[in-house]
């Protein structure tokens, strides 16, 4: 029998979490030879999340529903708490703003049985931007950072070196991955208490996995629908997210380029200054545009550029460089 621990980390989204639990109770088929537990990790919610989940625990269902409070802020801390609380060998992480297709678990079960030696699986994630404002572009010249999908097509297959790494809205690991590489890095992971929201904790892990040539299997018929909440598109939140994304890439550059022959000007790669000039110029002149998409796009890119410098500098300082 396959057993799966499903970890859902949340903060102030009791209604979204409740809908996801409804999804598993009412529509997702649990195969006869499959067992799941669902662990809700509450990362300091100020709404009624605890009350909602504990009330729901009284109901009889074909799986165990557990509630855990993680007081240390940050998505990485919440995910790591979920790992320590989970009971089963395979662990699935779901964002609190997704819903799963009825055959989600059936497809995973089939993939687990067919690929018993595989330690990493990536479901198909379809983006449903119901709350997206008109100015937020998901394609074209001004496509913005947050996309929220992972769709490699209608055929299950192993992910190649040319494919992008899976995203955190849905991902499945065997526990052996965490024994080998450690848990999610708490320096990264969204944390609304910070002035900068640094993503990348799952990318860090996936890059480690890919660097060791550990196969990742894409399961096309294990479908997740991603419905980001309105706050994802809040301007201040997006500025923090863009700066955080730049910060993560800056730290990655500092790690990956420190042993290479690169040209450094005043402590930073020369390419950073080119980016600074271009994004700064575009940011200033976009202020005169009446097109909100253009205006916000260049504002966000300017924040990301500042994050590059911050991340690169902080990593080098942490290593005494």
Structural domain spans, the chain: 2-232, 235-318
Question: At 257, is the pLDDT very low, low, confident or very high (cuts 50, 70, 90)?
Answer: low
pLDDT of residue 1: 84
> CB under 8 Å to 145, separation ≥6 — which residues?
238, 241, 242, 245, 300, 304
pLDDT of residue 102: 98
pLDDT in tens, 65-105: 999 999 998 899 999 999 999 999 999 999 999 999 999 99
d(CA 54, CA 240): 33
d(CA 11, CA 50): 10
pLDDT in tens, 193-248: 666 776 678 888 998 998 899 999 999 999 999 998 887 888 988 998 899 889 98
Both tokens of 285, joined, read: 């002149």
pLDDT in tens, 18-47: 999 999 999 999 999 999 999 999 999 999
> CB under 8 Å to 173, separation ≥6 — which residues?
90, 91, 119, 120, 121
Q: Which residue has the higher pLDDT, 289 or 148?
A: 289
Fold of the 2-232 domain: Spore Coat Polysaccharide Biosynthesis Protein SpsA; Chain A (3.90.550)
d(CA 144, CA 128): 15
**Residue 255: is its pLDDT beyond 70?**
yes
């Amino acid at each position: 029998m396959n057993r799966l621990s499903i970890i859902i980390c949340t903060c102030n989204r009791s209604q979204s979490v409740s809908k996801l639990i409804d999804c598993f109770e009412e529509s997702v088929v649990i195969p006869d030879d499959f067992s799941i537990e669902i662990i809700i990790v509450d990362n300091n919610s100020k709404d009624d999340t605890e009350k909602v989940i504990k009330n729901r625990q009284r109901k009889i269902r074909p799986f165990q529903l557990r509630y855990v409070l993680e007081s240390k802020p940050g998505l990485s801390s919440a995910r790591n708490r979920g790992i320590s609380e989970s009971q089963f060998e395979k662990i699935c992480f779901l964002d609190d703003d997704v819903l799963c297709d009825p055959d989600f678990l059936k497809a995973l079960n089939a993939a687990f049985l067919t690929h018993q030696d595989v330690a990493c699986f990536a479901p198909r994630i379809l983006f449903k931007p119901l709350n997206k404002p008109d100015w937020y572009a998901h394609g074209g010249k001004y496509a913005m950072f947050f996309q929220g999908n992972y769709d490699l097509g209608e055929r299950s297959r192993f992910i190649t070196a040319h494919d992008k790494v899976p995203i955190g809205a849905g991902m499945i690991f065997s526990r052996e991955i965490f024994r080998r590489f450690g848990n999610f890095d708490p320096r990264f992971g969204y944390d609304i208490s910070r002035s900068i929201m640094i993503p990348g904790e799952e990318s860090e892990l996936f890059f480690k996995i890919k660097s060791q040539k550990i196969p990742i299997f894409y399961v096309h018929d294990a479908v997740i629908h991603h419905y980001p909440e309105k706050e994802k598109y809040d301007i201040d939140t997006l500025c923090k997210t863009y700066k955080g994304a730049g910060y993560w890439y800056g730290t990655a550059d500092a790690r990956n380029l420190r042993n290479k022959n690169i040209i450094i000007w005043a402590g930073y790669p020369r390419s950073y200054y080119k980016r600074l000039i271009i994004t700064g110029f575009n940011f200033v002149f976009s202020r005169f545009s009446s097109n909100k998409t253009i205006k916000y796009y260049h504002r966000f890119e300017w924040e990301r550029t500042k994050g590059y410098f911050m991340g690169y500098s902080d990593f080098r300082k942490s290593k005494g460089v």
